[in-house]
Structure 1
Amino acid sequence: MAANALTPGIVAGRLTPEDYARNFADLHPRLDAHEARVEADRCYFCHDAPCITACPTSIDIPLFIRQIATGTPEAAAATIFDQNILGGMCARVCPTETLCEEACVREAAEGKPVKIGQLQRYATDTLMAAGGHPFTRAAPTGRRVAVVGAGPAGLACAHRLAMKGHEVVIFDARPKPGGLNEFGIAAYKTPDGFAQAEVAWLLEIGGIALRAGTALGRELTLEALRAEYDAIFLGIGLGGVNALGAPGEEKEGVEDATGFIAELRQAGDLRALPVGRDVVVIGGGMTAIDAAVQAKLLGALNVTLVYRRGRARMNASRYEQDLAASKGVRIITNASPVAVHGNGAVREIEFEYTDDDLRPTGERFRLAADQVLRAIGQRLAGADLPEREGGKIRVSGAGRTSLARVWAGGDCAAGGDDLTVTAVAEGRDAAEDIHAMLMAEG
């Protein structure tokens, strides 16, 4: 967001170049070979490993850790990529503390799980740095599949279909691929252009054409795609952002957290990115946490995250909540916005305390704010779509929609939990179902 006369508190260059470099450095630098071997040796290699069950992509975690322990990280990476082709990104952004690591036997016994996420990153980074692609395409099938959306679900679907020998065309509305991984995740989780490097590596499988800047409902219609392609996968994410529903939210300085994060991720020079002095973020999910932490890292003096329910109901994990607090973000719970105050631009935002059932208590307070970031959920945008359920595309089985030969997965599909790793699993499983259908037809 560019500063203007109405928002004098939103300015760029609050910190020194050294501060920006330090603040946005890699959150968890990769393990070296010795550290990885030592950590891998902590694994019990459970026969009925609960960590596998807890992983949405069902990676054979004990196997890949054993491969690291025996000095073959490239083999470990192949084990990971066989189930999760975006295993490098997932190692960086997955809430492992509430998935595989929470299920780890050492977590239950000692309160100190095996560092599965960091071991996964070590293995996948090692293979990707070595060059080459661990998979090869099957013989061409002559079938063509359209994938709409180049986010985690679409990329996973496209890769699996290409590996099976199908020709795939990925359409994406943005100027570059990656979806959430490129535009919606905190910069300190995926620095040094990793998202684009991972896409380029994934496309080495061959058989995938990418058409950026092409959106469903703008340059494309579902009807035309169904006429041209043998199957379609929709991984379009959620384009709309929910409103606060509070008087005054149209004032200058009130913006969507998703736009704030996307602008930061695409910024060539963080010193040129303006941020407020007093920033208020409204929401309790990962987008809210990422926006709040990055506002603080950009130099905001006061950053407050306000969530309408209690801490236990926040979608962001306790680890992420603690990370925000460690960076100086103040977290207020059980409060909902009721009004945005200011003459043209926001100056204060007023809240009312609520109980966990969102019943107002009658007690109100105000926070000074020159920048307010909305992170209260997104919604599916677009009319030319299959039947919906709960505001998302209704799916059955491995992503089948109400329309023949049309599948969906990721955030746009009903029933998911809005995680990168879940989107990958849904894209992969839809690809297997598409392949089975196409091959059954002969």
Structure 2
Amino acid sequence: MAEFSTPTTEQQFAENFAQLKPVMNRTEALYESSRCLFCFDAPCIKACPSGIDIPQFIRQINSGNDTGAARTIYAANYFGNVCGKVCPTEVLCEGACVYNLQEVKPIEIGRLQSFATTKVIKSGEKLFGPGVANGKSVAVIGAGPAGISAACELRSLGYEVDVFEAKAQPSGLTIYGVAPYKITNEETLAEMAYLQSQFGYNVHFNSAISSRNELAKLEEKYGAIFLGIGLGKTNELGLPGENKINCTGAVEFISELRQHHHEVVVGRKVIVLGGGNTAMDAASESSRLGADHVILAYRRGKEEMGAYDFEYDLAKGVGVKGLFNVAPIEIMGNSCVSGVKFIRTATTDGKVHEIAGSEFIEPCDMVIKATGQAKQTEFLSLIPGLALDGKGRITANAHTGQTTNPQYFASGDAWNGGAEVVNATAEAKLTARGIHAYLSK
């Protein structure tokens, strides 16, 4: 029995995918901000990868200075509104809140952050602007969290910035890969428009940089090039039957969902392969789209999953069932998916091994592979002298973001291998300063 009815209208979709962290009203924000203890040496600041002065902006909200609160947030994190909603605050700032030590509900830092930034975005109030022009220019490849954050910081330092984005909209996985119940398209695009109006960088959409000739033109025109390309498509598993109809990657599935909402159709019984946060999102989304049964299948035990506990709890809360210690060996069916053949596994000394003779078939009519994203090594091989590590990640200086080709700099998932939005924004800001030091010599 489905937990949700299949949405057929935009209104029904919005109801099924109701926001987990709805924006507070003024009364809620005043009450919640009044609970903050304004700790000296606050652990919440240390837990935030972008180092937002959290007690400061909460105090500003409590005193009625919402604009000042937004300025405090954006001074540290250009994706302040997005991060207030999509960050795993439960394990970062809110997870570090001292109230946890007293078994008291931690301050809702993420929602307070969204409250202040939403208000200033709607007002359009000017908080920042470009620095004095220095006559130099930088190209940014990719308009995701890393690319846009780098563009903002570089503009503040006086550089002309051109952002080249392969897709039709900015913000990368924030709009193409985050579950709709975490943030809406409208909220994401509103922040992107606000940032561009503040800093005045140029974005060229539907402008993929994919050839050596195109890179050479950028190298000739710009003093430095920032790589904010993120990761690629879902990894192939190499399983027989993987190309059958209704076997898709989680990244592709979520992207389609974010763009087409209730028009996306799921199977009646969906099996999601994987144990990370993306797998939890894909499973929860399938349930919210009206699937009768959703099974999360993982090759290790439940306690070994890479997903945050709260993400798994969220999936369970909408009816998702877990199937652990199983490894897929074949996608069954003729032209369309009819099931998955699994073999049971066991973990010994941290290593997974299959149990001979334990194969079984779990029927289903849709398979979603949440098995990680491929590195964009083919594109990166077009850049002379650019070194990658053994996992296909860009090798770059941890303090400046400069790669082994000194004209190129990098941040975000292409560098760190896949982390949170807040990590990408924090890294990109640091890297922008690295570019500034390089071009100021």
> Counterpart of 1:146?
139
Q: What is the SS of the residue equivalent to 1:186?
A: coil
Q: Distance in 1 between matches of 2:78 and 2:406?
A: 27
> Counterpart of 2:353?
359
> Counterpart of 1:34?
27
Instruction: Tell whether 2:437 aligns with 1:436.
Output: yes
- Decide whether the 8 Å contact of 2:272 with 2:368 is kept in 1: yes
> Counterpart of 1:407?
409
1:144 Cα deviation (Å)? Answer: 0.3
Q: Distance in 2 between matches of 1:333 and 1:402?
A: 42
Instruction: Tell whether 2:377 aligns with 1:377.
Output: no
Which residue among 126, 151, 171 is the counterpart of 1:133? 126
Q: Distance in 1 between matches of 2:300 and 2:403?
A: 33
Q: Deviations over 1:6-45 (max 9, x none)?
A: xxxxxxx944535423102222211111111111122121
Q: Distance in 1 between matches of 2:22 and 2:240?
A: 44
Q: Distance in 1 between matches of 2:346 and 2:56?
A: 46
1:8-407 equivalences in 2 (<5 Å): 14-17=6-9, 19-191=12-184, 193-218=186-211, 221-267=214-260, 270-356=261-347, 357-362=351-356, 363-381=358-376, 382=379, 383-385=381-383, 386-389=386-389, 390-396=391-397, 397-407=399-409
The one-letter code sitting in structure 1 at the alignment partner of 2:407 is R
Q: Which moved more, 1:287-296 or 1:354-363?
A: 354-363
Q: Distance in 2 between matches of 1:220 and 1:91?
A: 40
Q: Deviations over 1:213-247 (max 9, x none)?
A: 12222496333322210111100011132112222
Q: Deviations over 1:243-272 (max 9, x none)?
A: 1222211211111111111111111xx442
- Decide whether the 8 Å contact of 1:244 with 1:337 is kept in 2: no
- Decide whether the 8 Å contact of 1:57 with 1:83 is kept in 2: yes
The one-letter code sitting in structure 2 at the alignment partner of 1:229 is Y
CA RMSD of aligned residues (A): 1.7
- Using a 3 Å threshold, how does the CA distance of structure 1 residues 72 and 299 change in structure 2: closer, same or farther? same
- Decide whether the 8 Å contact of 1:234 with 1:409 is kept in 2: yes
> Counterpart of 2:424?
423
Q: Which moved more, 1:24-33 or 1:145-154?
A: 24-33
1:192 Cα deviation (Å)? Answer: 5.1
- Decide whether the 8 Å contact of 1:25 with 1:191 is kept in 2: no
Q: Which moved more, 1:38-47 or 1:220-229?
A: 220-229
- Using a 3 Å threshold, how does the CA distance of structure 1 residues 14 and 30 change in structure 2: closer, same or farther? closer
1:111 Cα deviation (Å)? Answer: 4.7
Q: Distance in 2 between matches of 1:185 and 1:107?
A: 27
Residue identity (%): 42
1:161 Cα deviation (Å)? Answer: 0.4
Q: Distance in 2 between matches of 1:417 and 1:380?
A: 10
> Counterpart of 1:10?
none
Compute the TM-score of the two structures, normalised by the length of structure 2.
0.92
1:413 Cα deviation (Å)? Answer: 0.5
Q: Distance in 2 between matches of 1:402 and 1:140?
A: 28
- Using a 3 Å threshold, how does the CA distance of structure 1 residues 431 and 23 change in structure 2: closer, same or farther? same
Compute the TM-score of the two structures, normalised by the length of structure 1.
0.92
1:172 Cα deviation (Å)? Answer: 0.9
- Using a 3 Å threshold, how does the CA distance of structure 1 residues 99 and 188 change in structure 2: closer, same or farther? same
- Decide whether the 8 Å contact of 1:133 with 1:201 is kept in 2: no
The one-letter code sitting in structure 1 at the alignment partner of 2:387 is E
Gaps of 5+ in 2: none
The one-letter code sitting in structure 2 at the alignment partner of 1:368 is P
1:195 Cα deviation (Å)? Answer: 1.5
Q: What is the SS of the residue equivalent to 2:114?
A: helix
Runs of 4+ in 1 over 6 A off after TM superposition: none
The one-letter code sitting in structure 1 at the alignment partner of 2:167 is R
- Decide whether the 8 Å contact of 2:143 with 2:163 is kept in 1: yes
Q: Distance in 1 between matches of 2:122 and 2:45?
A: 26
Q: What is the SS of the residue equivalent to 2:39?
A: coil
- Decide whether the 8 Å contact of 1:166 with 1:207 is kept in 2: no
- Using a 3 Å threshold, how does the CA distance of structure 1 residues 118 and 218 change in structure 2: closer, same or farther? same
Q: What is the SS of the residue equivalent to 1:97?
A: coil
1:286 Cα deviation (Å)? Answer: 2.2
The one-letter code sitting in structure 1 at the alignment partner of 2:382 is D
1:354 Cα deviation (Å)? Answer: 2.1
1:308 Cα deviation (Å)? Answer: 2.0
- Decide whether the 8 Å contact of 1:88 with 1:120 is kept in 2: yes
